[in-house]
Amino acid sequence: MSRPWAQSNTTRLRAPLPRLSQYSPSRQETCRAKAAPATRRLLGVVEFVDNDSRYLESEKAWSLSPGDRIRRTELHARYGGRRQGGIGPSAKTPNVFIFTDRDVGKKHGYLDRWEGDTFLYVGEGQRGNQRMEQGNRAILEHVSQGRALRLFEGSSGEVTYVGEFAVDPSAPYHLERAPETGNGPLRDVIVFRLRPVGEFLYRGRVHRPETAKPTLSTPYRDLDENVTTSPRKPFEIDPDAVDRASRTHIRLQNELASQLRSLGIEPQRPGFGDPKFDIGWWWKDTFVVAEVKSLSPENEVLQLQLGLGQTLDYVNSLECTGKRSYGLLAIPRPPSDDRWISLCESHGVRLIWPPFDRKTLLPPHEH
């Protein structure tokens, strides 16, 4: 079932969000600018290839900037997509359009909101548990389908372009309990975690995620270890394998948080402008940032390669803002090949696994 909207005037986002700090564009923007293409790839944003004329033409044809207003009828006439509902995949251009309207959405249990620099967008489906199909699947698979995900404020009449977003590749969605239409019984709703790709509109101002100043002050929240994955078509990735990997990752992350608290250290999660580390913490004037990776015999090398690269990126991002930082790569067991220990050390990253203790969790100069 589609996500219908009542006819109403355009409304603005009103979800509270910490106020952006002022930043100095010099050194920080320089470091971020160099990393921008890599950041887009890490987000899962499709880079259109030269031999695909349809995508190249569509990419050039997109003319809206964050903050621009347009009649919804004109938007769909120009770029395609459904003229009603909250999610509108386009068959005309490589775009998926999503619309958020706080006042109208809450009537149907759609409580869209900002959380740090991540926008939480509730999927479609008014009654019963929401399913990963139709518009919801279009959001989840927009990267693999080569589509840009474009968010608008308002649901009818004149709407405002917020910016291009991408589902968070490490945690694309989670389930929450919310009422059916008309304050009906509670049911499961799909909440997508969307991150801005480039410039985006927030509270009437245009911001860039690569220039937002890190806050490094958001308390960690233990994650649900009972994750499940929606069924997939035959011969696609085994959802049981995905769930096992996700549970291992979450258990390991929660175990880190528990050990830190036992040492009197308050764990942190990413906030607005922070690199997307899994868990971090302050120790004196140093921010320790950790990337968590599950391992299997089949993916161990790839996971270690990815984890080391991500950790180095987090550390570099923080150093660009003048923060002293140290990187850890946490895995559930010792690596099969010991060379990974020395390889990480040679790049200033410590490879750790349970049991965690003070020696493994603090910077080397603090042992």
* Confidence grade of residue 45 (pLDDT, cut at 50, 70, 90): very low
* 38 φ, ψ (degrees, to nearest 5): -65, -40
Query: Region 85-113: what's the mean pLDDT?
Result: 86
| DSSP tag of 198 | E
Residue 289 pLDDT > 90: yes
Q: What residues does CATH 3.40.1350.10 cover in the chain? A: 239-366
Q: What residues does CATH 2.30.280.10 cover in the chain? A: 25-212
Residue 29 pLDDT > 60: no
**Overall CATH class of domain 239-366:** alpha beta
Q: What CA–CA distance (Å, rounded) separates 320 from 42? A: 19
What percent of the chain shows pLDDT beyond 70?
75
Query: Region 307-333: what's the mean pLDDT?
Result: 91
Residue 39 pLDDT > 50: no
The pLDDT value recorded for residue 227 is: 55
C-alpha R_g of the chain: 21
The pLDDT value recorded for residue 49 is: 32
Q: Which of 38-42, 140-144, 248-252, 356-360 is the least confident region?
A: 38-42
| DSSP tag of 224 | P
Query: Region 229-252: what's the mean pLDDT?
Result: 61
Q: Which of 73-77, 181-185, 229-233 is the least confident region?
A: 229-233
More confident residue, 131 or 21: 131
The pLDDT value recorded for residue 103 is: 77
Residues 171 and 278: beta-carbon distance below 8 Å:
no
Distances (CA, A) of 7 to 10, 86, 156: 9, 12, 6
Helix (H) or strand (E) holding 306: helix 300-319
What percent of the chain shows pLDDT beyond 90?
38
Query: Region 122-139: what's the mean pLDDT?
Result: 88
* Confidence grade of residue 217 (pLDDT, cut at 50, 70, 90): confident
* Confidence grade of residue 208 (pLDDT, cut at 50, 70, 90): confident
Mean of pLDDT over the chain: 78
Superfamily of domain 25-212: SRA-YDG (2.30.280.10)
